Amino acid sequence: MKELEQRIMEDGRVRPGEILLVDGFINQGIDVTLMSNMAKVWRDYFNDKTITKVMTIEASGIAVAVLVAQELNVPALFAKKYETVNLTDDRHCARVYSYTRGREYTIAVSKRLLSPDDHVLLVDDFLANGCAIQGLVKLVRSAGATIEGVGIVIEKAFQKGGKILRDQGLDVCSLARIAAFEDDRVILGEADA
Ligand code: G4P
């Protein structure tokens, strides 16, 4: 998505540990117009799928999910994060290890809110090693629901998350793909839309 790529090149900042800061327009400050435009691109890309829910994990994914859900006229749903391992059995749960954050946590969603009838579009801001989205995939499948696709704002293509998801046959649409960081410069690859 050209508009997003341009914004990353103008306002994204590279931090140690191969982290891209996009807090001016995605992670903290949110450019709602840009995000609405992203939602329209995913709406068109996943046009042939029947989607009943748009799902993400708190926190940064929520704004993305809300705008996509509005575009598709379906509810948005986010998994909450918990430090504890054991949660009450009225929730679908999955355990996630984040390499980026160096910690493990549980994600969960109320069983009332996700049923085997649901056809889910997963969305998130970043895809790195993909542990967060893989946790979400496990959680949705444990609920018996169907995953129709995965929408990612920024995929770090030099990390393994994208390959793992695509190797499972999931339809992943990344709007920007980072091929590499070179001397604090972002090198973009080819995006999916
Ligand atoms: P991982 O398996 O390597 O940990 O990667 P994953 O794709 O699961 O991402 C883990 C977390 O790290 C996510 O946030 C993701 O947004 C964030 N992240 C990964 N790479 C970058 C980056 O280059 N820049 C920024 N800004 N964030 C990055 P999270 O745990 O879901 O937390 P939250 O920020 O949504 O609260």
Tell me the whole-structure pTM to 2 decimals. Answer: 0.96
The pLDDT value given to residue 87: 81
- Tokens 């949110």 sit on residue: 30
159 DSSP assignment:
S
Q: What is the pLDDT of residue 24?
A: 96
Low-confidence ranges of the chain (pLDDT < 50): none
Cβ of 12 below 6 Å from ligand 1: no
**114 contact partners, CB below 8 Å, separation of at least 6:** 53, 55, 77, 92, 120, 140, 143, 145
Render pLDDT for 11-25 as a digit per residue (tens, 0 to 9). 999 999 999 999 999
Nearest CA to ligand 1 atom 35: 60
